[in-house]
């Protein structure tokens, strides 16, 4: 299976108009001979480096650890560096000091920023001195970082993409885990009204989210959130709104996901709630539920209590607690029973095979039908479980007749939930007929056409099995007490929240690996074992909540026309904005790797290759990073660069007559003879300018550090550009005058004062004049650099972001013997 790091360069090739360099090479040059010219502008490799041909470069270190490479975002503007909110991005300029740092928003979505105005942290760049700085962003969006160099006054820039990163719970750092748990504790213990006062309009308490979850799934008509095609989109929206509430408390927090297939080894399950009790509590037995976060959880609100919000107009259980009506738990605290009636079991716990089977579905209907079943359902039932003082017959019946049967009987009206139970009185279900009335139960339930449409497996129960189930359900001595994770009140359990992002991540992976995935019309299901289309409850209801056009019960933050907006999306819209090929959410996932799953090893994200694969790997391309974009004029070619040969710019010839610009640094500085490169070791810059090298080692050195080796002033005569050459006065200097001062590749100088910049001269005399002036205190480097920048910025006849000397030479055939036995060419 291809790793994320191996995909970075390949995927960015198809995501961006710029071609990216490989993960191990930090360059900002086009590194292909004979490729088409690339668009001008900023370019970054996966390390975030962008270079300027002036000899300075700006690099930004990605911060957040997300798989940004996998996502196509509609507003993308070329190569971008990931910056998760609150995660400091290290910035560095090489080749010059920085006079000023700048941060601007290309755009950001205020709608996604939690908290009242006076509490919002502000995005900023903090200068650390010299050429270093740190940028910290807080609002998802696109930002530009600019660095104005001290020596040359250049403005280098790069783009930062601020997105939240959802990580697998095991991959969170200690600080990330602590921040998440602290925010979760606040959301679980602070009412919505108080939370909005403290943290702003995006705040919603867990109690409010539970109430809405109960309203949709615990009603007597239908389940509007589960067992239908809307399940995935409804829970993606729920996760999104919950995450925004967390971010109202702490804007650095992202909701993690829990890949529970990692907890299944053979027939054993060692759940994350056991492995990390500090995260969600133990969960193994009810007596251990006071560990970890459970110590800080509030009791479940009860009607009549001060913490029960009057606006929660929902079904409660018979004790008045904000629980599903079929959960007859009389205790106020959140419970986990880890199995059924004291019998621990891992039966049905999701395996890699079940997630692979989901990914093998070839159409949307089949995928949405399966996603809430075997890929995740058993986690709810196992962690929540059935417990307390189970009657033996309940334990026996539960193996045959679990929760979804109870919900069906409840909605068919053959099983009634108690309306009120006292603290001391037993509480039980009530059957409309005695358990021994076999004929009635056969006609009205087990062989009922409606019941069989909802749950076809009823038909397979024997008469004795039916009798066991009915005796348990109808007995006045039996109480059915569920752990919250097993029912419509599951959001009370903190282990609920990271579950459903796992399924959303699978959906995103499916869209990436299968371009032919069929988005069939909503309701068409490619399964023969399900008679219903939109939802399981179709024979009893209209399937509200599960149609393509139905609104989700929760609001979503999504990208729309350059800004993040917040509203309730339809089910179809929710799936569309979560499609990584046209991604519009403000978070991404950390990876699309399942290294623990052998079943996934043949799955890979396909790439739209833009160039042929070359021997030795993929051939990357890039572009110079400059503040000035080319302006079209009759004198410019299609790419906005200088076209007239009078400017010493013939694209068919190598830069500085093919001299190996790396070899100058190996010279002892005495013989001053240039080393001829070879087209065998050529590198193309900007799609047009060709550099020759005398060896593969020198070529690779240039690729790794182009800003170190590329000649200053484009390889033109430094004296001529300084204004000190009597042939050209600086007040009249134009680009068209450059041919008046051709250079001798053997007349060169390394300015060790400023990082070893390479300068060329017309000849030995011009070099001597230049260096004498410097030794006498006149810095001609500064004046030449200023004139050079003035010329390339001027509209004479156009502005270009790159120009190298390929034709203005004063002498030929001055080459020293080539290195590594490379044949010399004149």
**CATH number, domain at 376?**
1.10.1280.10
Does the pLDDT value for residue 567 go beyond 50?
yes
- 621: confidence class by pLDDT, cuts 50, 70, 90: very low
Is residue 765 included in any domain, yes or no?
Answer: yes
Whether residues 532 and 650 fall in one domain: no
- For residue 610, the model assigns a pLDDT of 40
- Distance CA(263)–CA(502), nearest Å, equals 14
Whether residues 284 and 322 fall in one domain: yes
- Distance CA(689)–CA(157), nearest Å, equals 22
Whether residues 258 and 223 fall in one domain: yes
Whether residues 156 and 190 fall in one domain: no
- Pairing relationship of beta strands 132-136 and 757-761 according to DSSP bridges: unpaired
Is residue 725 included in any domain, yes or no?
Answer: yes
Which of 95, 128, 163 is the endpoint of a domain?
A: 163
Backbone angles phi, psi at 164, to 5 degrees: -70, 150
- For residue 535, the model assigns a pLDDT of 85
Strand runs (DSSP E) across 586-670, as ranges?
Answer: 587-589
- Distance CA(687)–CA(624), nearest Å, equals 11
- Distance CA(620)–CA(23), nearest Å, equals 10
User: Peptide bond before 797: cis, by omega within 30 degrees of 0?
Assistant: yes
Higher-pLDDT residue of 310, 602: 602
Is residue 350 included in any domain, yes or no?
Answer: yes
- Distance CA(91)–CA(80), nearest Å, equals 14
Q: List C-alpha distances in Å: 731 to 372, 382, 712, 714.
A: 75, 82, 21, 20
Highest mean pLDDT pick, 382-391, 438-447, 533-542: 438-447
- For residue 473, the model assigns a pLDDT of 82
Average pLDDT, rounded, for the chain: 75
Highest mean pLDDT pick, 138-142, 332-336, 640-644: 138-142
Whether residues 184 and 272 fall in one domain: yes
Whether residues 60 and 100 fall in one domain: yes
798-813: average pLDDT: 56
How many domains in the chain? 3
CB neighbour list of residue 616: distance below 8 Å, 6 or more residues apart: none
Angle at 705 between CA 695 and CA 30, to 5 degrees: 80
Is residue 489 included in any domain, yes or no?
Answer: yes
Nearest to 755 by CA among 712, 704, 805: 712
Nearest to 155 by CA among 793, 810, 816, 795: 793
- Distance CA(785)–CA(770), nearest Å, equals 13
- For residue 345, the model assigns a pLDDT of 61
- Looking at the chain, the whole-number percentage of residues with pLDDT higher than 90 is 26
Whether residues 147 and 201 fall in one domain: no
Whether residues 557 and 518 fall in one domain: yes
Whether residues 159 and 207 fall in one domain: no
Q: Which two tokens stand for residue 128?
A: 């650390």
- Distance CA(424)–CA(421), nearest Å, equals 8
- For residue 826, the model assigns a pLDDT of 28
Whether residues 724 and 806 fall in one domain: yes
Does the pLDDT value for residue 646 go beyond 50?
no
Is residue 400 included in any domain, yes or no?
Answer: no
Indicate the helix (H) or strand (E) that contains 135.
strand 132-136
Question: Do residues 553 and 234 lie in contact, with contact meaning Cβ atoms separated by under 8 Å?
Answer: yes
- For residue 809, the model assigns a pLDDT of 67
Does the pLDDT value for residue 423 go beyond 70?
no
- Pairing relationship of beta strands 81-82 and 155-162 according to DSSP bridges: parallel
Highest mean pLDDT pick, 359-363, 535-539, 615-619, 817-821: 359-363
- 393: confidence class by pLDDT, cuts 50, 70, 90: low
Q: Show the DSSP H helices in 329-402 as ranges.
A: 352-359, 364-370, 377-384, 392-398
How many whole angstroms from its chain centre is CA 540?
40
Domain span holding position 58: 4-163
| Least-confidence region, from 128-142, 175-189, 328-342 | 328-342
Is residue 612 included in any domain, yes or no?
Answer: no
Which of 118, 135, 163 is the endpoint of a domain?
A: 163
Whether residues 177 and 158 fall in one domain: no
Which of 585, 611, 628 is the endpoint of a domain?
A: 585
Does the pLDDT value for residue 115 go beyond 60?
no
419-440: average pLDDT: 83
Alpha-carbon torsion 734, 719, 682, 757, what sign?
Answer: negative
Is residue 598 included in any domain, yes or no?
Answer: no
pLDDT tens digits, 696-726: 888 888 877 777 788 888 888 899 888 888 7
**pTM for the full predicted model:** 0.68
Whether residues 266 and 148 fall in one domain: no
Is residue 472 included in any domain, yes or no?
Answer: no
CB neighbour list of residue 531: distance below 8 Å, 6 or more residues apart: 453, 456
Higher-pLDDT residue of 112, 149: 149
Q: Give the orientation angle of helix 463-474 with respect to helix 403-412, to 10 degrees.
A: 80
Does the pLDDT value for residue 422 go beyond 60?
yes
Does the pLDDT value for residue 678 go beyond 70?
yes
- For residue 402, the model assigns a pLDDT of 58
- 735: confidence class by pLDDT, cuts 50, 70, 90: low
- Distance CA(724)–CA(730), nearest Å, equals 8
pLDDT tens digits, 335-369: 888 767 666 666 678 989 999 999 998 888 889 98
Question: Do residues 580 and 586 lie in contact, with contact meaning Cβ atoms separated by under 8 Å?
Answer: no
Q: Show the DSSP H helices in 641-793 as ranges.
A: 696-704, 706-709, 718-722, 764-775, 780-793
Does the pLDDT value for residue 614 go beyond 50?
no
């Amino acid at each position: 299976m291809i790793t994320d790091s191996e995909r970075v360069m390949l995927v960015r090739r198809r995501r961006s108009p710029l071609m990216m360099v490989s993960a191990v090479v930090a360059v900002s040059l086009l590194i292909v001979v004979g490729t088409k010219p690339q668009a001008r502008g900023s370019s970054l490799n996966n390390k975030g480096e962008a270079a300027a041909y002036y000899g300075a470069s700006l690099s930004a270190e990605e911060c957040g650890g997300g798989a940004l490479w996998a996502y196509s975002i509609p507003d993308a503007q070329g190569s971008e560096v990931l910056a998760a909110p609150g995660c400091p991005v290290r910035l560095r300029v090489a080749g010059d000091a920085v006079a000023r740092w700048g941060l601007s928003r290309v755009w950001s979505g205020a709608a996604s920023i939690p908290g009242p105005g006076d509490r919002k942290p502000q995005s900023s760049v903090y200068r650390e001195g010299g050429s270093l700085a740190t940028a910290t962003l807080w609002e998802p969006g696109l930002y530009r970082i600019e660095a104005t160099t001290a020596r040359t006054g250049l403005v280098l820039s790069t783009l930062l993409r601020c997105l939240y990163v959802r990580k697998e719970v095991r991959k969170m750092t200690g600080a990330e885990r602590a921040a998440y748990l602290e925010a979760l504790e606040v959301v679980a213990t602070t009412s919505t009204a108080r939370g909005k006062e403290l943290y702003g309009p995006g705040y919603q308490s867990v109690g409010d989210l539970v109430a809405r979850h109960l309203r949709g799934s615990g009603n007597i008509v239908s389940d509007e959130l589960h067992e239908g095609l809307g399940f995935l989109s409804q829970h993606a929206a729920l996760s999104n709104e919950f995450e925004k509430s967390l971010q109202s408390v702490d804007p650095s927090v992202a909701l993690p996901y829990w890949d529970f297939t990692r907890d299944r080894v053979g027939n054993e399950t060692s759940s994350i709630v056991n492995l990390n009790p500090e995260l969600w509590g133990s969960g193994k037995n009810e007596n251990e539920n006071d560990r970890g976060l459970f110590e800080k959880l509030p009791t479940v609100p009860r009607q009549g209590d001060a913490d029960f919000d009057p606006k929660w107009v929902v079904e409660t259980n018979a004790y008045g607690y904000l629980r599903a009506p079929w959960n007859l738990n009389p205790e106020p605290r959140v419970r986990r029973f880890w199995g059924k009636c004291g019998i621990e079991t891992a039966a049905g716990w999701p395996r890699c095979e079940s997630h692979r089977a989901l990914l093998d579905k070839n159409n949307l209907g089949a995928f949405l039908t399966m996603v809430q079943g075997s890929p995740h359902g058993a986690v709810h039932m196992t962690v929540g479980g059935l417990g307390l003082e189970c009657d033996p017959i309940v334990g026996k019946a539960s193996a045959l007749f679990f929760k979804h049967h109870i919900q069906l009987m409840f909605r068919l009206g053959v099983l009634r939930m108690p309306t009120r139970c006292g603290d001391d009185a037993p509480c039980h279900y009530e059957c409309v007929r005695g358990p021994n009335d076999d004929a009635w139960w056969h006609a009205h339930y087990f062989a009922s056409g409606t019941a069989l449409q909802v749950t076809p497996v009823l038909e397979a129960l024997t008469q004795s099995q039916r009798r066991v189930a009915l005796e348990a359900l109808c007995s006045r001595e039996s109480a059915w007490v569920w752990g919250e994770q097993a029912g419509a009140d599951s959001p009370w359990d903190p282990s609920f929240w990271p579950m459903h992002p796992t399924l959303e991540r699978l959906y995103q992976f499916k869209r990436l690996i299968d371009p032919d995935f069929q988005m069939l019309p909503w309701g068409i299901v490619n399964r023969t074992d399900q008679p219903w289309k939109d939802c399981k409850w179709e024979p009893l209801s209209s399937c509200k909540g599960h149609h393509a056009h139905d609104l989700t019960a929760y609001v979503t933050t999504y990208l729309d026309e350059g800004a993040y907006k917040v509203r309730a999306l339809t089910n179809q819209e929710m799936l569309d904005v979560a499609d990584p090929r046209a991604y519009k959410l403000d978070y991404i996932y950390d990876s699309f790797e399942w290294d623990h799953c052998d079943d996934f090893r043949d799955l890979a994200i396909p790439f739209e290759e833009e160039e042929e694969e070359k021997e030795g790997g993929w051939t990357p391309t890039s572009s110079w990073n400059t503040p000035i974009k080319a302006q079209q004029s009759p004198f410019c070619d299609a790419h906005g660069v200088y076209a007239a040969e009078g400017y010493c710019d013939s694209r068919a010839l190598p830069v500085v007559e093919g001299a190996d610009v790396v070899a100058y640094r190996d010279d002892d500085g005495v013989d001053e003879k240039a080393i001829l490169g070879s087209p065998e070791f050529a590198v193309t810059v900007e799609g047009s300018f060709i550099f020759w090298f005398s060896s593969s080692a020198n070529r690779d050195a240039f690729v790794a550090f182009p800003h170190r080796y590329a000649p200053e002033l484009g390889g033109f005569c430094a004296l001529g550009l300084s204004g000190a050459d009597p042939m050209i006065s600086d007040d009249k200097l134009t680009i068209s005058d450059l041919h008046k001062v051709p250079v001798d590749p053997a007349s060169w100088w390394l300015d060790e004062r400023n990082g070893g910049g390479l300068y060329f001269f017309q000849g030995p005399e011009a070099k001597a004049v230049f260096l004498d002036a410097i030794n006498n205190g006149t810095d001609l480097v500064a004046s030449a650099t200023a004139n050079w920048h003035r010329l390339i910025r001027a509209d004479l006849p156009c502005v270009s972001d790159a120009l190298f000397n390929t034709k203005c030479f004063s002498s030929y055939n001055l080459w020293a013997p080539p290195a590594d036995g490379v044949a010399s060419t004149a």
